[in-house]
Each structure stands twice: as C-alpha cells, then as structure tokens.
Amino acid sequence: MKTVNPHINKVNPHIFRGYDLRGIVPDDLNEKTVRLIMKGFVTMLFEKQIKEVVVGRDNRNSSEEIEKYVIDELLKNGVDVYSIGKSLSQIVYWSQYHFLSKACIMVTASHNPKDYNGFKLGRSFSDTLESEEIKKLRSYVEKGNFKKYDRQAQFVKKDIFEDYKNDLLKRVTIDKKFKVVVEGSNTYSGEFVSQILEDTGCSVIRQNCEPNGNFPLGTPDPTENDVLERLSKRVLKEKADLGFTYDADGDRVGIVDDKGQSIWNDNLVSIFAQDVLYYEPGGTIVYNTLCSKQTADVIRSSGGNPLMWLTGHSFIKAKLKQEKAAFGGELSGHMFFVDNFYGHDDGAFASLRLLQYLSRTNQTLSETVAKMPKYVSSPEIKFGCADEIKFDFIKTKITKEFKNLFGKTASYIDIDGIRADTKDEMVIIRASQNGPYLTVKFEGKTQKKYNDLKKKIKAILKKYKEVDFSSGVNKDALD
C-alpha cells in the first residue's frame, strides 16, 4: 500500500450528487477529474480490500473516452478490471455476480442531456454509493488522501450479454405471444431490450433503437411526455398490446398501454405490488415519496405493508435490504424485484415481469389499470432551480407555503422535500438529486380537485424568482 501526499484538488462539488456523479463534459468531467475520481474510488475499495471492478458504459459520445481513463487509472492503482464495454447499468450490476466482483462502475449520466456524463459506483453487490459514501468520495478527491494497491492488476474483456439475457429469461414464464413496441430513444437500451423481448416470443416493433450518442430526438427520459407520445402513436398504429421505453442506461422503464395511454410508473408500482404479493402475502413494498396515494391503497388492499421512502435508486435499494422487503419501485421507473431477482433496478426485467403478470392474469394492461383506485394525477414535472439554493428553498419557503395552504387538513412528510396528503389530494415538491431543478407532482380524487390544486400550486411557485419556469420537463402540465 502506498499513500499519496495530501493536496487540494479543484473539482466542481455539484457533480457529487445524492447517489451518483454527474457533470458536464469537459467542463466538469475530463481526463484530470476522471482520474482523480478513480483514485478516490480506489481508496474506498481499499477500505474493504476489494481488488476487482466491473466496468461498462452507455452510448454517449463521451462515454468511451471516459471509460478508457477509468480503466487505465484502475489498472495503474492495482485494481483488476472486468470490462464489458457497451452496456446498461443493470448488466453491470448483474456482471458483479458473474465475475464475483463486489465493485462496479457504470459510465453514464442516465437521462441527463447529451453533454453530461457521470458514474454509478458500487462496492457491494447490486448496490451503488449513496449520500454519506458520496461525501466520503468527494473528501478523498478534494484532499488527495489516496491509497493504492502494490500489485500487478489484471485486465479481462468479455461480452456477457447472452449470459445476462439467459438468466433473465429463465426467471419468467410468459405464455402469451405479445406484440410490443420498443422506443429506444437512440440508446443501447433499445438494442439490448428488443433482443430480450424477441427471445420470449414477442413480436417486437423497434422504433429509434439505433444507438446515437447525440440523442437527436432529445433526452432519453421515459417519463417525458414527448417520449411517451412518440411511443403511444406507434402502439396505436401497430395495434400493439403495449409499448416500452427506457433511459440511456436501461434501469428505468416507461409504459404505454394497448389504448395508447401513458401509464405513470406509480401505477406500475401498484401492479407489481399486486403481482409480488400474490406470491409473497404480507410482504413489505417500498415506494418513493413521489408515488400516488393509489400505491398505498393497492398495497394495503392486496394484504401488503406499504413503506414510503426517499427518492433515489441507491436509497430504495438500501431500504429494501434493511426492511427485507419483497419489492420496491419509484415514479421515475426504477423497479426493484427481490422475490426471484437480485434487488437492483432493471428495466428489462421489469418489462418481462409485466408481461408475465398480464399473461398469468389474462388481462390487457388497460384492463389491469382500470381495476385500481383512480386519482387524477400529473406527470413528474420539473422546473429549474439552482443547485446552491434548491434544498434550502424547499425547506424554508415551500414547506411554509404548504402548511399555510392546507393547515391541519393535511398530513406532512418531510423526508424528501415536502409532501402534503389530504383525504382526496396529494402534492409533493422536492429538490432533485440529479440536476439543478425541482420536481413537482400532484393529484386529486376528481378532475375538479385536481384543477383547483393545480392553480394553487402554480400560484405558489410563481411567487418565487428561485423557480425558473423557462427550463424543465413536462412544464405544460401546470398550465
């Protein structure tokens, strides 16, 4: 072991987020900063005596070059590398079991715009670093208190997609031959998941599944209305049973039903909860604070134990382990199966499990959704808000506004922004961990309650110059 002399390194602190690292290339992420981050990560691996890492990348234009810096720095610091090349986050997680490697690195910025990149870093099976570990990594990077191994590192390059695909397929039974549309948004997700679905016997219509790191159709975010509308049109045109879309690293899913309707992912959490509780009665289902009131309603009516928790894939995964839960899901499309899977988020496996459920229950997706409790819900709306102020803005101003608006008629949850629930309404505003913006979601039991709540929320947000209405996602949902 060698220790490098302490010094101060200048790295944009805002790249260190709640559960991963994301920044602009090359301003925030370049050869120098990537190598510093890898030295810090090796130091964290040294703490657990981990000497090998699985590395994969998404199809952003900068990912291959960043991956080269990552691999080179790991090898220089005595860490073995299993390189799987072009990949998805869940394939990287799965590869940990394949190679028996506790650590992993996925080069990705998920659904961020094309000029971003970043890392999902893990030093435990199926887990990625979360808040306190990210803070520790940042400290190591900035102070330069690095450690390395005195050993000759080994490099192994292997394509494991076939092994991964076969493992997924053996875990599901799909008796019906579905016709599905896959909207790839020019990511590797479209390429990989289409192959998996075809091997189940599905008739797959591929749309925009040719990888293009410029993302010519816009940000590959499966919660964006533009993406879902593009998918909906093709589902209706092809008279398909349903449609799937994914983000750039494949761990999140978006769904359109047989009638071309976008199915918000909290509805999907409710469906999966019913499925999992069919096999594991009384199980705990973890879901994030952005999910509909419907989610808890369905979990309880299905005999399960609902548990609301922090938004973020790392936080949900950690809570699943802590509670020995059966399943977890988020509005953003991260789905975590523990019953017969590894507990990490995998958009492809979530797609297979949905098809298995529809096959087992002999229902269409629209029929399934129609049977669940109804709320008129907004999509996940995002507005710009500077990283430096967003958390404090929620805590000091928005929380006060909510309590003035609802008073004692609501219950409040402040573990992740501020959420207010009345008998017939819900609204949450939180600061994103992934970028300089606020996330807003609301719902009402009736269209009138929804419309009234929308006006009130818009009036609150318009009062503050901290909210940038010129940037964001699904902004027209508040009009």
Q: Which residues are catalytic?
A: 22, 110, 334
Q: Tell which residue, 479, 462, 471, has the closest CA to residue 383.
A: 471
CA separation for the pair 268, 107 (Å, rounded) = 28
What pairs with residue 425 in β-bridges?
Answer: 444
**Is residue 253 within 8 Å of 331, Cβ to Cβ?**
no
Q: Tell which residue, 354, 344, 365, 123, has the closest CA to residue 250.
A: 344
Cβ-based neighbours of 450, under 8 Å, separated by 6 or more = 376, 377, 378, 442, 443, 444
CA separation for the pair 133, 452 (Å, rounded) = 42
State the DSSP H helix or E strand holding residue 242, giving kind and residue range, or none if neither: strand 242-246
CA separation for the pair 23, 118 (Å, rounded) = 6
CA distances from 435 to 14, 31, 144, 190 (A): 9, 22, 26, 25
| DSSP 8-state secondary structure symbol assigned to residue 346 | -
CA distances from 463 to 240, 401, 412 (A): 45, 11, 22
State the DSSP H helix or E strand holding residue 444, giving kind and residue range, or none if neither: strand 437-444
CA separation for the pair 328, 311 (Å, rounded) = 11
Q: Is 185 exposed, middle or buried (0-12, 13-18, 19+ CB in 10 A)?
A: buried
State the DSSP H helix or E strand holding residue 107, giving kind and residue range, or none if neither: strand 103-107
Residue 249 neighbours by CB distance under 10 Å:
31
SS3 content of the chain, % helix, strand, coil (to 5): 40, 25, 35
Q: Tell which residue, 157, 147, 29, has the closest CA to residue 87.
A: 157
